Structure 1
Amino acid sequence: MRLVLGFLLALLVGAPTAAAVPPGVDVDYQLGGVSVPADNVGIVVRDRKADPAEGAWNVCYVNGFQTQPDERAFWRARWWLVLKKGGRPVVDSAWGEWLLDIRTPLKRQRLGAIVGRWIDGCARAGFDAVEFDNLDSWSRSHGLIRGRDAKAFARILTQRAHAAGLAAGQKNWAGLHGRRVGFDFAVAEECGRYRECAAYREEYGDQVLFVEYRRPDFDWTCDRHGRDVAVVLRDRALRPDGRRAWC
């Protein structure tokens, strides 16, 4: 019933009418494994294969533009949807992930159906929102993918999220003007390090979540934005027992 109502609402208005990110609580970023949130935490981001945290506003992590390292067999069976150069997959060397080929409407449609099933799974599990990682993977595609291809695919994903009754989160790519694409809030990693936080605030106001991985960047972000939005300091591996601090 929730999915049906969400789909009808999306058809009528195109996006959720309520604000997404709840105010006045901290965020925990738990992609490396789950743990019991601290008492001050009211927003939790977890992988789509994990269960949402009880009593929190939960964001479901979906790697929408690249492959997960442990899912290579899945994508080898759909090899035509993986971006290739000279017959070899284009790799995000930082994470060992293959880029998805979103260059044509047909491929975006087929990929949207695959990722869409994951989005629907997030809704069935009880998540409140979804964030799509590697939105900016076009910048690592050696010029094969254009920014407008990423925007076109992002529109497919945000519409699917809204149809499932979920708020849609932009992941990184400062300056995107994500509301035009259909995003409701943003999740930004290291905006303090790269001095990009203001770009997200200008677009989304307090509907942002900031994640930093270095103490000086965390302090900088807290000084300028910590009174208004949720900021968390995490270890880069995001271990369940890893470092956490809040403003």
Structure 2
Amino acid sequence: MLLSSYRISPLLLLALLGFADLRKITALPTPVGTVESQSHQETELERRSTSISQKGPVLEDRASSVNWWVPTQKTTWQVQLSGTIDRRFKGNAIEFDADTDAATVKYFKSKGIKTIAYISAGSWENWRSDAKKFPKSVIGKPLDGWPGESWLDTRQINTLKPLMQARLNVAKAKGFDGVDWDNVDGYTQNSGFKITAAHQIAYNRMLADISHAQRMTVALKNDLGQAAALAPYFDFAVNEQCGYYQECNLLEPFLKAGKAVVGLEYPGEGDDKRTYAQVKARTDPRTYTLIKKLDLGAWGIVVSTKKSVLS
């Protein structure tokens, strides 16, 4: 799968699941690796998901004291996940697939451009070189519209963590500066598993932890319903279509903390009939938002300037 677009409003889904107050979490449980042990974890999360006053405790920002590169709201971006990587990009940071050869990573680094590895952490992709290492027990229902790709049972952290760690190690060895873990909102999807919001938070925090252990910057992809709870553990956010779904306000925890937000909008693709002017009107100037095609090739328009991302 390339970058996954929303199918269900996270806020609505959280409300249905009884996690509408998730943004007020003051502490989070330690990730637990087995499916059987998750019931205690979920109970603990629910217990701690209580309202706090303005003078009450707040989450410590664990991504604030770092020894790795962290983007800012002034960072300029390109995201290309299909086709030959276009080397004309002259901005600050570029994201492309982790399977891209090390020579491409080295080229951009030689130009002073930071590189972000795209890795799907929540889906099994049958074309990946490590596909056979995933046990059948963690492979769920297919992702709608993405042949060869199925949801993963992210409750099984002990099984998935070493697989994700191995992928991360390869990306680090190639020289990538950071990672964008995709499909980390399986709890909102028809995955074939009873993944809860608590399970998802535990899994996503694990991804942040292993990334930081490698001194790599890490993005929270989509998962807007948990953005407030997870913002302290992630360095920046990558979001698709928040303008189209009118959910960009849910990125405020990142923006208020001064963290970068990379926006991707797809006007003219599928049911999205918006014009450039309509996209720009809904774009927060604190974000770096690109107009892209769904295939996420080299083409792109910077919303703030209406210029090519390659210019």
Fold shared per TM-score above 0.5: yes
Structure 1 residue 167 displacement after superposition: 1.4
- Is 1:47 matched with 2:104? no
1:189-247 deviations in Å (ceiling 9; x for gaps):
1111111122113334442110111163764453354532211111111223xx31012
Q: How does 1:10-29 map to 2 (within 5 A)?
A: 15=63, 17-18=65-66, 20-29=70-79
Tell me which residue corresponds to 1:137. 186
Contact 1:190 1:217 in 2 (8 A): no
SS in 2 for 1:209: strand
1:159-188 deviations in Å (ceiling 9; x for gaps):
100000011110001131243672221100
Contact 2:266 2:294 in 1 (8 A): yes
Question: Equivalents in 1 of 2:71, 2:276: separation in Å?
Answer: 20
Tell me which residue corresponds to 2:151. 99
- Is 1:236 matched with 2:285? no
Letter in 2 for 1:126: G
Question: Equivalents in 2 of 1:14, 1:200: separation in Å?
Answer: 18
Tell me which residue corresponds to 2:218. 168
Tell me which residue corresponds to 2:136. 80
TM-score with structure 1 setting the length: 0.79
Q: Which runs of 5+ in 2 are unaligned?
A: 1-60, 269-273, 305-311
Q: How does 1:26-41 map to 2 (within 5 A)?
A: 26-33=76-83, 34-39=85-90, 41=91
Contact 1:190 1:212 in 2 (8 A): yes
Tell me which residue corresponds to 1:6. none
Letter in 2 for 1:58: T
| CA spacing shift, 1:25–1:35, aligned 2, 3 Å | same
Q: What is the total number of aligned residue pairs between the two structures?
A: 223
SS in 2 for 1:95: coil
| CA spacing shift, 1:76–1:182, aligned 2, 3 Å | same
Tell me which residue corresponds to 1:64. 121
| CA spacing shift, 1:142–1:109, aligned 2, 3 Å | closer
Question: Equivalents in 2 of 1:108, 1:28: separation in Å?
Answer: 31
Letter in 1 for 2:153: D
| CA spacing shift, 1:77–1:185, aligned 2, 3 Å | closer
Tell me which residue corresponds to 1:222. 280
Structure 1 residue 67 displacement after superposition: 1.4
Letter in 1 for 2:289: V
TM-score with structure 2 setting the length: 0.64
Structure 1 residue 143 displacement after superposition: 5.7
Q: Which runs of 5+ in 1 are unaligned?
A: 1-12, 84-88
Q: How does 1:116-131 map to 2 (within 5 A)?
A: 116-131=165-180
Of 153, 157, 174, which residue of structure 1 is paired with 2:207? 157
Contact 1:155 1:181 in 2 (8 A): no
| CA spacing shift, 1:181–1:164, aligned 2, 3 Å | same
Tell me which residue corresponds to 1:4. none
Structure 1 residue 49 displacement after superposition: 1.1
| CA spacing shift, 1:223–1:57, aligned 2, 3 Å | farther
Letter in 2 for 1:155: R
| CA spacing shift, 1:81–1:182, aligned 2, 3 Å | farther
Question: Equivalents in 1 of 2:138, 2:184: separation in Å?
Answer: 15
Question: Equivalents in 2 of 1:172, 1:219: separation in Å?
Answer: 23
Q: Which moved more, 1:217-226 or 1:109-118?
A: 217-226
